[in-house]
Chain A
Amino acid sequence: MSTVFTFRIDGKDVAGSEGQTVMEVAEENGIDIPALCHLEGIHDRGACRLCMVEIAGSPKLAAACMTRITEGMDVTAHSELLLEYRRTVTEMMFVERNHVCAVCVANNHCELQDTAEELGLTHFDLPRISPKVDIDASHRLFAIDHNRCILCLRCVRVCDEIEGAHTWDIMYRGLETRVQTDMGIPWGESTTCTSCGKCVQVCPTGALFEKGRAVARGSKTRRPFLPWMKVVAEERGL
């Protein structure tokens, strides 16, 4: 039996079980905390920094997706300050690589686009970095356009934790960081990829997409399988 904690998010009294994260309890209570690396059904890594919340008594902000709830904690998930931080962090994601919504397969189905709208981001004060970034279209069914990748690593995690293939991983560091398949070989040559398409389904942007889809015609509709897969995996003790 786990203990139940009661605490507050944005002044609202909420309850959760020991071991749950602030993000989980917020989701259960209809409190929307923006996040791009978080996805229910795979492990959190606290990297996008959009879900940063204030916790009374703590001098530092905390990532809601990685913070376990405690009895009586007082969480502020929305404030002017947090909005400014979230806007700027989203802006950073946009200016990092070459996001061109107009020609993107995920246009109108994109979580990055949605986040910008939600946060009221209308333009970028930061200059674009405009790096030269590759596209790998060697796979029979799918392609990856690194221009649109925000390094949330959902693909890496779903491939490892749910599909069990661990085709995806990361290479290099800093701005050079890239997701990669099988130690950096072209995706089409990967011997571990099962072509299951889970990575494409979880990608928040148009970085991973099905071939043959036109602009704005990508879709990510088959995601609900994730939490279910996780339950199955846990029950089997995997």
Chain B
Amino acid sequence: MSEMPAAARPVRRRVITEEINDEAPRAWAYVCEAASCMSGQAHDITLRLAGRAAEAGLTDVMIKRVGCLGLCAAGPLVEIAETGQLFGHVKPDDVEGIVTALQKVTPTDTRQPQGPFFEKQLRVATENMGRIDPENLDDYIERGGYEALKRVLSEMTSTAVRDEITRSGLRGRGGAGFPTGLKWTTVAKAQGTQKYVICNADEGDPGAFMDRSVLESDPFRILEGMAIAAFAVHATEGYIYCRAEYPLAVARLRTAIRLAQRAGYLGAGIADTSFNFDVQVRLGAGAFVCGEETALIASVEGRRGTPRPRPPYPAVQGLWDCPTLINNVETIASVPTILRNGPEWYAGIGLGKSKGTKVFALAGRIVNTGLVEVPMGMTLREIVYDIGGGIVDGRPFKAVQTGGPSGGCIPAEFLDIPVSYESLIELGSFMGSGGLIVMDDTSCMVDVAKYFQDFCRDESCGKCVPCRVGTTQLYMLLDLITRGEATMDDLAQLERLAVIIQKTALCGLGQGAPNPIFSTLRYFRDEYLAHIVDRVCPAGVCTITPAEVMA
């Protein structure tokens, strides 16, 4: 295997001086260059920081671009690796403080606690996030990258790999929680000479950005995970279906694919074995429904992205009618770590049938908006208050929305429920891909349900009648309620229609579309009644015209 010596390539943005310095650097500054911080001129910060450090004569300091540091609310972020000191809301013009801090770093410094946002997390899928340069293969390898793949290819059979994944208890992180090991085995045993692996990176839930961050921060991990999956299911070709709205993720993925191909981690004869596997990126054109696996397959094939009834499942008849493994970004990102640390280690984390960790995107009225990974079984209270820092302006917590447009709202009384696939379903919500939108008393729950219905209505592909027409009908009813013009008959109609759509729609989008209505009705029926009977919006969000004088 011709792994290029690291020294042969310029790998990091060493502070530019005339002098060449081969010694290990004394201090590192990590600049978050993921999409959120990039929108705050993070790249300028990297350049300015390097420039200022050079002016200050800091030849023993490295400035490194890294992926997401997690605390998006405080972006753009810069971290000093040695001390763990974090600079938030950095502007390109005020890098002076960071330079001063870099000057003070001594070899004896240790990382200081960074507070509960970081301390309470457990990083598996995101272990390299904010640690490595996403466009640097050596950086990835330095942190244990490709160890798992090499071991798989040199020491294990595909059955053994599948067995380890099964024993780890990993379940699909795209939302439904299907056991990953079982899915792999189904594909491996399906009839067919040609098989495919697809990584579903068509993240479309409102408020969700887990997959984007993983792709932007650690793209090699996806390629490694996919290669392992391909080996386990006997596939030779892979596709990453990523939405075009993630240009940075796509660019980094493409760079990573090129680097991995050059280094022999993709293509023919991976890691000096006879195993062949290559990956292509396919762009989605922004249709939410293309996250549904059969629609995604149609889209990869170049057809209109609409779902079809299952069975046959893609594991048996998928891409170009061949057995196809479709896993979500986060599922695939967990694979290398699981194989490196062993399935027992992973199965030891979590709660009940929900093993391991889950990445959540915290959004809404929460202080620490950002990306976190926590062990399954952590309570919502810990996630919202300890990690999330509580509600903005100290307002009272009202509900948390999980699971995107197919999910539901969980009220304050269930804050102490441990989060798992099962517990969320019991509460009428859904794990989903991991978007977690926090709402305070300024949110009207009918309005929230209306928002999600509007989303589903807009994103319906138009194939089946219940979704195409039904979601619009639900939206019209909710609109009537928020305008204070609905009657109790309309509420009954809303509930009846929601059930029919859930039962008759073709795919998950339509079947899940009524879920926000079900859960808000379950926990916040009084708000619906307030709109209908008293004609007031308790949260003061909806504009209700005063009651007419009845003629």
- Give yes or no for direct A-B contact (beta carbon below 8 Å): yes
CB 8 Å contact bits of A139-156 with B (1 = contact, 0 = none): 000000000001100000
CB 8 Å contact bits of B460-497 with A (1 = contact, 0 = none): 11111110111111001000000000000000010011
Q: A46-B506, A126-B473, A129-B469 are in contact. Are A173 and B460 (CB under 8 A)?
A: yes
Q: Are A88 and B309 in contact (CB under 8 A)?
A: no
B160 at the binding interface (Cβ < 8 Å) = no
B495–chain A nearest beta-carbon distance, Å: 13
Of chain A, the residue at the smallest CB distance from B287 is: A173
B40–chain A nearest beta-carbon distance, Å: 34
Q: Are B468 and A175 in contact (CB under 8 A)?
A: yes
Q: Are B504 and A174 in contact (CB under 8 A)?
A: no
Q: Are A85 and B472 in contact (CB under 8 A)?
A: no
- Taking CB atoms and an 8 Å cut-off, the chain B residues in 319-355 that contact chain A are none
CB 8 Å contact bits of A74-97 with B (1 = contact, 0 = none): 000000000011001100110110
Q: A49-B505, A92-B473, A126-B473 are in contact. Are A174 and B468 (CB under 8 A)?
A: yes
Q: What would be 27 A-B contacts, judged by CB atoms less than 8 Å apart?
A: A45-B463, A47-B463, A47-B465, A49-B504, A60-B503, A63-B309, A66-B308, A67-B309, A84-B500, A85-B504, A89-B465, A89-B500, A92-B465, A95-B469, A96-B465, A126-B473, A126-B493, A127-B473, A129-B476, A151-B463, A151-B468, A173-B289, A173-B461, A174-B460, A174-B462, A175-B462, A175-B472
Q: Are B469 and A93 in contact (CB under 8 A)?
A: yes
Count A-B pairs with CB separation below 8 Å: 95
A235 at the binding interface (Cβ < 8 Å) = no
B17–chain A nearest beta-carbon distance, Å: 56
Q: Are B503 and A170 in contact (CB under 8 A)?
A: no
B79–chain A nearest beta-carbon distance, Å: 43
A125 at the binding interface (Cβ < 8 Å) = yes
Q: Are A93 and B506 in contact (CB under 8 A)?
A: no
Chain A residue numbers with a CB within 8 Å of B472 are 129, 174-175
Complex CA distance for A93 and B473, rounded to whole angstroms? 12
Of chain B, the residue at the smallest CB distance from A169 is: B304
B386 at the binding interface (Cβ < 8 Å) = no
Chain A residue numbers with a CB within 8 Å of B221 are none
B457 at the binding interface (Cβ < 8 Å) = yes
Instruction: Count B-side interface residues using an 8 Å CB cutoff.
Output: 31
B459 at the binding interface (Cβ < 8 Å) = yes
Q: A127-B476, A173-B462, A174-B460 are in contact. Are A45 and B308 (CB under 8 A)?
A: yes
B458 at the binding interface (Cβ < 8 Å) = yes
A42 at the binding interface (Cβ < 8 Å) = no
Of chain B, the residue at the smallest CB distance from A90 is: B465
Q: Which of B308, B458, B468 contacts A96 (CB 8 A)?
A: B468
Q: Are B493 and A89 in contact (CB under 8 A)?
A: no
B489–chain A nearest beta-carbon distance, Å: 9
- Taking CB atoms and an 8 Å cut-off, the chain A residues in 160-212 that contact chain B are 170, 172-177
A38–chain B nearest beta-carbon distance, Å: 12
Q: Which of A66, A85, A125, A172 contacts B493 (CB 8 A)?
A: A125
Q: Are B462 and A52 in contact (CB under 8 A)?
A: no
Of chain B, the residue at the smallest CB distance from A126 is: B473
Chain A residue numbers with a CB within 8 Å of B471 are 174
Chain B residue numbers with a CB within 8 Å of A125 are 493
Chain A residue numbers with a CB within 8 Å of B470 are 92
Chain B residue numbers with a CB within 8 Å of A60 are 503
